[in-house]
Amino acid sequence: MAMQETKIVGDSFQVGVRFQRYWDTSMAIAFFCGELGAGLFFVSFLFDFVPGMVTGMLITGVFKSYFHIAHMGVPMKSWRAILRPDRSWISRGLMAIVFYLGFGTVHVLNLSFDLETTLGLGTALGNLVQFLAAAAALVVMTYQGMAMSHSSAISLWNTALMPVSGLTYALTGGAVLTMVMGWNSLFAVTPEGLNNLATEVLLLLLVDAIVLASVVYSANNRSRGGQVSVSLLLSGIYRQPFLFLVVGTGLVLPALVLWLVPGNFIAALLAAATILAGYLTYRVLIFKAGVYEPMTSFRPSA
Amino acid sequence: MARYGMVFDLRRCIGCNACVIGCKQENSLPDGMFFTRTLSEEYGVYPAVNRVYIPTLCNHCEDAPCEKVCPSGATYTRDDGIVMVDADKCIGCGSCAVACPYDQRSQVDKDLLSHGLFGTDELTPFEKDGYQRFVPGTITKCDFCSERVDAGLDPACVVTCPTDARIFGDLDDPASKASTLIRERDGKPPMPELKTRPKVYYVD
Distances (CA, A) of A55 to A41, A204, B5, B67: 7, 21, 53, 36
Between vectors from CA A36 to CA A31 and to CA A40, what angle results, nearest 5°? 155
* Helices first, then strands: H and E counts in chain A: 13, 2
What is the distance between the alpha carbons of residues B133 and B112, in angstroms, rounded to a whole number?
13
Nearest residue, CB atoms, B41 vs list A152, A157, A299: A299
Q: How far is B153 from chain A (nearest CA, A)?
A: 27
Instruction: Report cis status (omega within 30 of 0) of the bond before B71.
Output: no
On whether the CB atoms of residues A66 and A75 are closer than 8 A, the answer is no
Nearest residue, CB atoms, B92 vs list A73, A89, A290: A73
pLDDT score recorded for residue A302: 43
pLDDT score recorded for residue A136: 98
A7 in any annotated domain: no
What is the distance between the alpha carbons of residues A38 and A57, in angstroms, rounded to a whole number?
7
A298 in any annotated domain: no
* H or E element in which residue B19 lies: helix B18-27
Q: How far is A21 from chain B (nearest CA, A)?
A: 8
pLDDT score recorded for residue B19: 98
Phi-psi region of A299 (alpha: psi -120 to 50; beta: other; left: phi over 0): beta
Helix A50-58 and helix A89-113, axial crossing angle in degrees, nearest 10: 150
A151 in any annotated domain: yes
Residue A146 lies in domain: 12-292
pLDDT score recorded for residue B180: 97
Per-residue pLDDT of chain B (204 residues; tens, 9 = 90+): 899 999 999 999 999 999 999 999 999 999 999 999 999 998 889 999 999 999 999 999 999 999 999 999 999 999 999 999 999 999 999 999 999 999 999 999 988 898 888 888 889 999 999 999 999 999 999 999 999 999 999 999 999 999 999 999 999 999 999 999 999 999 999 999 999 999 999 998
Q: How far is B37 from chain A (nearest CA, A)?
A: 7
Helix A123-149 and helix A89-113, axial crossing angle in degrees, nearest 10: 150
- Residue B139's beta-bridge partner residues? B107
- Residue B56's beta-bridge partner residues? B37
The single-letter DSSP state of residue A296 is P
A3 in any annotated domain: no
A5 in any annotated domain: no
Domain count, chain A: 1
Predicted TM-score of the model (pTM)? 0.93
Buried b (16+ CB within 10 A) or exposed e, B134-150: bbbbbbbbbbbbbebbe
A301 in any annotated domain: no
**Mean pLDDT score across all residues of chain A:** 93
List the single best residue of B8, B12, B86, B91 to mutate versus A (max A Cβ within 10 A).
B91
**CA-nearest residue of chain A to B192?**
A296
Q: How far is A166 from chain B (nearest CA, A)?
A: 18
pLDDT score recorded for residue A189: 76
pLDDT score recorded for residue A2: 42
Between vectors from CA A35 to CA A34 and to CA A38, what angle results, nearest 5°? 85
What is the distance between the alpha carbons of residues A197 and A183, in angstroms, rounded to a whole number?
11
How confident is the model over A190-211, as pLDDT tens digits? 888 899 999 999 999 999 999 9
Distances (CA, A) of B167 to A286, B153, B180, B199: 39, 12, 11, 12
Residue in B107, B74, B81, B79 with CA at minimum distance from that of residue B198 = B81
A238 in any annotated domain: yes
pLDDT score recorded for residue B119: 81
What is the distance between the alpha carbons of residues B82 and B3, in angstroms, rounded to a whole number?
8
* Binary contact (B202, A18; C-beta < 8 A): no
Per-residue pLDDT of chain A (302 residues; tens, 9 = 90+): 444 557 888 888 999 999 999 999 999 999 999 999 999 999 999 999 999 999 999 999 999 999 999 999 999 999 999 999 999 999 999 999 999 999 999 999 999 998 888 887 778 888 999 999 999 999 999 999 999 999 988 999 999 999 999 999 999 999 999 999 999 888 887 888 899 999 999 999 999 999 999 999 999 999 999 999 999 999 999 999 999 999 999 999 999 999 999 999 999 999 999 999 999 999 999 999 999 998 877 766 54
Residue in A130, A114, A137 with CA at minimum distance from that of residue A57 = A137
Residue in A32, A6, A30 with CA at minimum distance from that of residue A236 = A6
Given 3-state DSSP classes, what are the helix, strand and coil percentages for chain A, each rounded to the nearest 5? 75, 0, 25
A4 in any annotated domain: no
Distances (CA, A) of B79 to A190, B1, B3: 65, 7, 8
CATH of the domain at A232: 1.20.1630.10
Residue in A42, A54, A38, A61 with CA at minimum distance from that of residue A143 = A38
* Binary contact (B91, A15; C-beta < 8 A): no
